[in-house]
Structure 1
Amino acid sequence: MAIADLDSNTPQRAAAMSSTAAMGVVADVRARETLDAAVDAVVDRFGRLDVAIANAGILARTGTLRTMPVSSVESLLAVNVTGVVNTVQAAMDQVIAQRGQLAVISSVFAFTNGMGTIPYAMTKAAVEQLGRGLRVELANHGVSTLIAYFSMVHTAMITQGVDGDPLADRLLATMPQTMLKRIAPETAATALVDGLARRSPTVFAPSRWKPLSALRGLVNPVLDSRMTRDIRTQAALSTLDARPATQKTAESKGTR
C-alpha cells in the first residue's frame, strides 16, 4: 500500500503504520509531475500498481455563489477536478498493465441540490462523469472503475468546514435529517474496499442514497421546487448571502 499526500510527514506516517507493507510519498495533486514521480516510486518499491484511488478533496466555507471568492472556486476545481484527473492519468498506464482498478471519490452532492456549496457539488458531479466515462473507455483494457458516493464522512473536512460554521448547520437543518446521517471514515473505507473486491462500478454509503440516485430524474425536480418555496431554506440562504466573503477551505486527507 502506498499513500501519496501533500503533507511532508507522509513518509514517516506510512512507516509508522508498517515498515514493510506501506510507503508514503509526498505529492500535490495539482502538480502532475509530482504524481508521476509518486507512481514511479511505488512501482520501484513494489514492482507494480494494481489499484489507484483518487481521494484528494477540499471544501470551501458554506456560502452562496454570489459571495464566494473566485479564488475559492478556483481552488476547488484545481484539487477536486484537475487533481483527480491528474491522479488517474498518472496511474493509468500501470493500472492498465495489471488489468487493475481505478476508484474516484464522488459524493451524494453529485446528484443532490448544491445550494450553499455549489462549486463543491459541481466538482463531485464532474468526478461522477469522469468515473462513468472511464468505465467505458477502459473496458477493453480489462480495467474496472469504481465511483464512490458518500454522504458526510466524519473527517476533519466536515468538522472544520461544517461543524464549525453555525450558518452551515442552519442550512443543513432545513433538509430531511435522514439524509444527513454521517458515517465514520472506517465505514467509508470498508465500503470502498468491499466494492473493489467485487469490482463493483459504484458504492454508496449510507446505502439509502442508492435508490435516490437511481430516481434522481424524478425526485430532484420535486425537491428543488420545494426548496425554492421553503421559508426556512430561503431564510438561511439570505443570511448566507449577507455574510462577508472569505476564503477558507477544509481538506479531506487520504490517498492522493
Structure 2
Amino acid sequence: MQRYDGRVALVTAAGQGIGKAVAERIAAEGGSVLVTDLDGERAAQVAAKIGERALGIQVDVTSRADIDAAVAAAVERFGRLDLLVNNAGGCIVTSDPEQTTVDDWHRQLDVTLISAAQCIQSALPHLRAVRGNVVTISSVNGLAAFGNLEYSAAKAGQQSMTQNFAARHGRDGVRFNIVAPGTIRTPNWDSMPQALDRLKEMYPLGRVGEPEDIAAAVAFLGSDDASWITGQTLPVEGGVLTGPAFLIHQTRP
C-alpha cells in the first residue's frame, strides 16, 4: 500500500528503535520523512538508508528552538507537513517514588509530556493547512499500574492532552491519536536479553513486541484509513492488559 504518496511526516527520536521503524514504514508507503534524533549522526544514517525522500537532523525535543527549526526544515525540504509522530521520551527517573525530587519530575515531564505538547504547537499551523494529524507514542504504563511512577504519570498525561487537542481541533480537520505499546524489543534492551525472556511470559501472545508492530499501528492511524478516528488510544501490547484474566486461564486445569 502507498498510503503516504505525496505526504510528509516528522518523526522524533527516530535514530533507532520504534522511531526508526516508523520512519522506514512511512517511507515504504510512499511518504517523505524528516528523521530527528538527539543523536544527529543516527538520524542522518536512518535518512541515508531511506534515500532521497528523507532528511535527518539533530533535535533536542526539550528545546523549542530545535523543534521549530525541525518543523521549518520539513516544510522547506518537502513543501508541507501531514503527520507528526511524537516518539521522543523514555523512563528518565528510576528512583524510589517516595524519594523523587522536583527536579526528577521536571526531567521526566520535560522529555515525555511537555516536549510532545511543544511539538504539536509548532506543527499545528502546517497540519491545519493540510488537515493532517498527530500520533503520539505512549505506553501501557499510562493505562495501568506497571510501576515507574513518574514515567507512567507522564504517559497518562499524554492521553489527556491528546483527547483535549482532538476535541479542540476536530473541526479544523486535524486528528490526534495515541499508540500505547507494551514491552518492545528496542536497543535499550540489548544488554538485558534475559529480562526480555522473562517479560514475554507476561504476554498472552507469548512474545514481546517488535518496533515494526508499533510502526504498523502508527501507519494506520496516520493514514486516511483512520480518517474517522480521533482522540483515541490504541494499545499494541500483546494482550498484557488482560491482566488477571490471562493468569486465570494459565492456571486453569
TM-score in terms of structure 2 length: 0.71
1:94 and 2:126 correspond: yes
Per-residue CA deviation, residues 191-246 of structure 1 (Å, 9 max, x unaligned), is: 21122222244422136367x5xxxxxx9xx99xxxxxxxxxxxxxxxxxxxxxxx
Bigger Cα Rg: 1
Per-residue CA deviation, residues 82-126 of structure 1 (Å, 9 max, x unaligned), is: 1111111111110111101111111111121143x0001001100
Aligned CA distance change for structure 1 residues 82 and 176 (closer, same or farther; 3 Å): same
**Counterpart for residue 215 of structure 2:** 189
Q: Partner of 2:177: helix, strand, or coil?
A: strand
Distance across 2 between alignment mates of 1:44 and 1:183: 35
Distance across 1 between alignment mates of 2:206 and 2:62: 30
Q: Partner of 2:91: helix, strand, or coil?
A: strand
**Counterpart for residue 186 of structure 2:** 155
1:104 and 2:136 correspond: yes
1:58 and 2:90 correspond: yes
**Counterpart for residue 176 of structure 2:** 145
Instruction: Give the share of equivalent positions with the same residue, in percent.
Output: 25
Aligned CA distance change for structure 1 residues 176 and 25 (closer, same or farther; 3 Å): closer
Shift of the alpha carbon at 1:22? 0.5
Distance across 1 between alignment mates of 2:76 and 2:167: 30
Shift of the alpha carbon at 1:67? 3.7
CA-based RMSD: 3.0
1:122 and 2:153 correspond: yes
Distance across 2 between alignment mates of 1:125 and 1:20: 37
Contact between 1:56 and 1:79, CA under 8 Å: does it hold in 2?
yes
Contact between 1:53 and 1:102, CA under 8 Å: does it hold in 2?
yes
Structure 2 unpaired stretches of 5+:
1-32, 246-253
Contact between 2:60 and 2:67, CA under 8 Å: does it hold in 1?
yes
Structure 1 unpaired stretches of 5+:
213-218, 224-256
Matches within 5 A, 1:213-252: none
Contact between 1:152 and 1:158, CA under 8 Å: does it hold in 2?
no
- Equivalences, count: 208
Comparing both chains, which one has the higher relative contact order based on Cα–Cα distances under 8 Å and sequence gaps of 6 or more? 1
TM-score in terms of structure 1 length: 0.71
Matches within 5 A, 1:173-188: 176-178=202-204, 181-188=207-214
